[in-house]
């Protein structure tokens, strides 16, 4: 079963939920796909067992062969390759590495070059717990290739938790692709509700099953609960804000090791989301 944990914006407690739920479970794998700002590794100690480069391929045009026919530009849906009268321009950041432009080039003028866009790190937390995170190389603009690589690496895991990037960007779409269930972590504030609605729209458009955990439920108002009721969205759990929680997390500690309240919350979420697969 693949479960993504996501939020409409940063700072809602998504990573807190991800690392604590992962640590609560007896056996699971977690990937942190927030590759621009990974931070789950600050809470999960273990042994680094593998470090892997994530490579992206970019087209390179041989000017001696190219006759500037324009077919590669016509083919590319992302405007990543644009033939002019005397030069073919390639925009690396826009390229999705699909390989199509070389297939349509009648002069065989396009080859591909490798570029490292980031790294994967594999951490063995315990015998039954594997944690992976990705890190985008400084200067690269898209983490999608790294997210795809992390998901490919973990495709056969029985129970996979995916700490998704915040928001509703391409990276989030890549993170939720192929998931069985998504947990939205939201705050009960007007901003929190507004950001959560965008995530709900995305998940509905992608046909995902999902529920909501309202974090810092003692702050904000009741609007979010009315919305969930009207939209018939399952409220999985409400978790209060507590200064002590913030202080424990600031020390890089897991809340389930210090708070029975938080442990009970994780147990309830696990039971609701995993159903029959929950056997702790
Ligand atoms: S399709 Fe090939 S020959 Fe035509 S413009 Fe592109 S690179 Fe040049
Ligand atoms: S590899 Fe695909 S996305 Fe990249 S430039 Fe070629 S056609 Fe466009």
The tens digit of pLDDT for each residue in 135-192 reads: 998 888 788 889 999 999 999 999 999 999 988 888 899 999 999 999 999 998 888 8
Cα 130 from Cα 76, distance rounded (Å): 38
pLDDT band for 111, please (50, 70, 90 cuts).
very high
Instruction: Please give the pLDDT value at position 278.
Output: 62
Instruction: Please give the pLDDT value at position 62.
Output: 96
Model confidence pLDDT, tens digit, residues 61-95: 999 999 999 999 999 999 999 999 999 999 988 88
pLDDT band for 277, please (50, 70, 90 cuts).
low
What's the predicted TM-score (pTM) here? 0.86
Query: Would the pLDDT of 25 be above 70?
Result: yes
SS (H, E, C) 35-104: CCCCCHHHCCCCEEEEEEEEEEEEEEECCCCCCCCCHHHHHCCCCCEEECCCCEEECHHHCCCCCHHHHH
Residue 139 vs residues 12, 93, 118: alpha-carbon distances, Å: 27, 10, 10
Instruction: Please give the pLDDT value at position 276.
Output: 66
Cα 166 from Cα 172, distance rounded (Å): 7
Q: Report the residue count for the chain.
A: 280
Average pLDDT taken over every residue of the chain: 92
- Domains in the chain (CATH in brackets) are 2-54+118-278 (3.40.50.300), 63-108 (3.30.70.20)
Cα 32 from Cα 256, distance rounded (Å): 19
| Ligand 1 in reach of 66 Cβ (< 6 A) | yes
Distance (angstroms) between ligand 1 centre and the Cα of 118 equals: 29
Among the listed ranges 27-31, 140-144, 219-223, 224-228, which one has the minimum average pLDDT value?
Answer: 140-144
Among the listed ranges 42-51, 138-147, 250-259, which one has the minimum average pLDDT value?
Answer: 138-147
Distance (angstroms) between ligand 1 centre and the Cα of 95 equals: 16
Cα 147 from Cα 164, distance rounded (Å): 9
Ligand nearest to the CA of 63: 1
Ligand nearest to the CA of 145: 2
Instruction: Please give the pLDDT value at position 97.
Output: 86
The pocket around ligand 2, CB under 6 angstroms, is made up of 59, 75-76, 78, 80-81, 95-101
Instruction: Please give the pLDDT value at position 208.
Output: 95
């Amino acid at each position: 079963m693949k479960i993504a944990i996501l939020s409409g914006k940063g700072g809602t407690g998504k990573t807190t939920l991800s690392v604590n739920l992962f640590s609560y479970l007896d056996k699971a794998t977690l990937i942190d796909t927030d590759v621009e700002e990974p931070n789950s590794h600050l809470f999960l100690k273990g042994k680094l067992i593998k470090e892997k480069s994530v490579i992206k391929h970019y087209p390179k045009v041989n000017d001696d062969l190219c006759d500037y026919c324009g077919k590669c530009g016509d083919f590319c849906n992302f405007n990543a390759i644009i033939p002019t009268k005397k030069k073919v321009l390639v925009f690396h950041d826009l390229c999705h590495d699909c390989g199509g432009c070389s297939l349509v080039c009648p002069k065989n003028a396009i080859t591909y070059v490798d570029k490292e866009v980031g790294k994967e790190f594999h951490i063995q937390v315990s015998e039954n717990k594997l944690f992976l995170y990705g890190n985008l190389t400084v200067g690269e603009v898209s983490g999608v290739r790294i997210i795809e690589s992390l998901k490919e690496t973990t495709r056969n895991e029985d129970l996979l938790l995916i700490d998704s990037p915040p928001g509703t960007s391409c990276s989030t779409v890549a993170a939720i692709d192929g998931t069985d269930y998504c947990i939205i972590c939201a705050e009960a504030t007007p901003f929190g509700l507004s950001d959560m609605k965008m995530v709900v729209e995305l998940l509905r458009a992608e046909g995902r099953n999902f529920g909501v955990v309202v974090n810092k439920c003692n702050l904000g108002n009741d609007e979010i609960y009315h919305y969930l009721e009207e939209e018939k969205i399952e409220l999985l759990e409400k978790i209060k804000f507590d200064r002590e929680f913030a202080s424990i997390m600031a020390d890089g500690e897991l809340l389930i090791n210090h708070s029975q309240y938080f442990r009970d919350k994780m147990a309830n979420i696990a039971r609701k989301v995993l159903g029959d697969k929950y056997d702790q």
